[in-house]
Structure 1
Amino acid sequence: MKITAVIPARYDSTRFPGKPLADICGKPMIWWVYQEAKKVEDYVDVIVATDSTKIIDVCNQFGMNAMMTSSKHPMGTDRVAEVASRTDSDYYVVILGDEPILRADDEKKVVRAIQSGICADAIQLVEVMTNPVDVVNTTTIKLAINDEGYCIFLSRAPIPTPKSSLGYKYYKNTGCFAMSREALEFFVKTKRGNIELAEDIEQLRLIENYKKIFTVQADYMSMSVDTPKDLERIRDEISCRLRDEGRS
């Protein structure tokens, strides 16, 4: 079972241009994501997939493996599919380039699920929500997960609605998921369905077409960088982590 990690990184982000190269404690954001992925011994390769020569140049400077991909890809998964068409692996773990505090130990949980032979086209790393604001925030994607651990729907709305039971935990997706080669090929050749178009959640393309998404729960908090204010929080988090590692 060959597993490759791919970090899609687009330079021209609408809300935060140049985000993958934003400085965090003296290193670009993409470096932190890459270094954590390199700790996962089961990856046969870790590849930054980008459409920017600026990101390619920085990756070369810091010794990171990078691949130039088309600038026409509408989504990060399409970019990963291009990497899959040019490489030879059975599964591809997608790690978003704007989650620099995602831990290798949680990536390994995704890898172990793949290696277990679980019946799934994709595997999504999830977190239990602890902040009620996230539950009602439409930018946070919620997952409905059945008792066997499979995701049966994703939405920007709070799902499920607690009408008769208050014991349900709310889950959100993180910036780490895996797709088989076959699932990636299916994704790029299948048009967006009405539900995906309404919610603007790309994993719904699989759900709408009866594909299976298995979930594994993260042990550590992750945090995406969408704005410069988010970046400040990430800098504080990584600074604390570096101080703690210095004391150990």
Structure 2
Amino acid sequence: MKAIGVIPARYGSTRFPGKPLAEINGMPMIQHVYNQVKKSNELFDVVVATDHEMIRDVVQGFGGNVVMTSVHHETGSDRIEEVTSLVDGDFFVNIQGDEPLIQAELIDAIVREAKHSKNELVITAKTLIKDLEDIDNPNIVKVITTPEGKAIYFSRSKVPYNRSGIMHSYYKHLGIYGYPKSILKKFVNLQPSQLEKVEMLEQLRLLENKIDVQVIETTYDAVGVDTPEDIAKVEKVLGGLQNV
């Protein structure tokens, strides 16, 4: 099984235009992400998928692989599906371009799970929510699964609602996905589903169309960059890691 790591990098962003090129400790964010992903032992190759020449030039400048994709894609999944026509592979891992601290170990775990499932499932990840305020935060997507790890539902709401008051753990869904090539092509050609439009979560389109999603658990918790103010948070974490 040939696994390809794909980092979608869109230039246009309402809250943070040119975000992939924002400097973190003097290095473009897209380079931080690329360097982290390249540490993976399970990926056959890593490629940045962008819609802008400036990002292409920066990636080529630091020696990274990059492909130009359409400016009309609405989601990262749509962009990665185009990559499947440009790069040879069987399993494509969608790695967020605004997570400069992404762990190669998580990527490797997703690829190993795909190999274990004979490349027949979509694979994603969850992590235990430790800050109780995050449970009610609609910007933190929650996931519930079967005991075997199959996704039952993703929601911005607090799921499940704990009416009984018994001890229960809540899990945050991490925005990393691994797709078999055939399932990805099927997925992007499906019409947005009703629950997807209500929650504004495209992964619900998979569940509503009876496409199984396997969820692995990790201790990694994403530190994403959504606004310019988030740069300082990442630099603080990087500073702490360098001092260890």
Band of TM-score, shorter chain: over 0.9
Q: Which residue of 2 aligns with 1:210?
A: 210
Q: Which residue of 2 aligns with 1:219?
A: 219
CA contact (8 A) 1:122 1:177 kept: yes
CA contact (8 A) 1:25 1:239 kept: no
In the alignment, does 2:178 pair up with 1:178? yes
Q: Which residue of 2 aligns with 1:200?
A: 200
* C-alpha deviation, 1:125, in angstroms: 1.6
Q: Which residue of 1 aligns with 2:4?
A: 4
Pair 119,42 (structure 1): closer, same or farther in 2 beyond 3 Å: closer
Counterparts of 1:1-248 in structure 2 under 5 Å? 1-117=1-117, 120-244=120-244
Pair 169,119 (structure 1): closer, same or farther in 2 beyond 3 Å: farther
d(CA) in 1 for partners of 2:229, 2:202: 26
**Number of matched residues?**
244
Q: TM-score, normalised by structure 1?
A: 0.94
* C-alpha deviation, 1:120, in angstroms: 4.9
Structure 2, unaligned runs of 5 or more? none
Whichever residue aligns with residue 37 of structure 2, its letter is A
Q: Give 3-state SS (helix, strand or coil) of 2:44's partner.
A: strand
* C-alpha deviation, 1:140, in angstroms: 1.2
CA contact (8 A) 2:128 2:219 kept: no
d(CA) in 2 for partners of 1:9, 1:31: 11
* C-alpha deviation, 1:56, in angstroms: 0.3
CA contact (8 A) 2:95 2:177 kept: yes
Residues 183-208 of structure 1, C-alpha deviation per residue, up to 9 Å, x if partnerless?
11111111001111111101111000
* C-alpha deviation, 1:216, in angstroms: 0.9
Q: Which moved more, 1:162-171 or 1:180-189?
A: 162-171
- Aligned-CA RMSD value: 1.3
d(CA) in 2 for partners of 1:90, 1:155: 29
d(CA) in 2 for partners of 1:7, 1:166: 40
Structure 1, unaligned runs of 5 or more? none
Residues 110-140 of structure 1, C-alpha deviation per residue, up to 9 Å, x if partnerless?
1111121267521112111111221111111
After TM superposition, the runs of 4+ consecutive aligned structure 1 residues lying more than 6 A away are none
Q: Give 3-state SS (helix, strand or coil) of 2:220's partner.
A: coil
* C-alpha deviation, 1:4, in angstroms: 0.2
Residues 149-195 of structure 1, C-alpha deviation per residue, up to 9 Å, x if partnerless?
11111111011111125332111122322011111111111100111
CA contact (8 A) 2:10 2:51 kept: yes
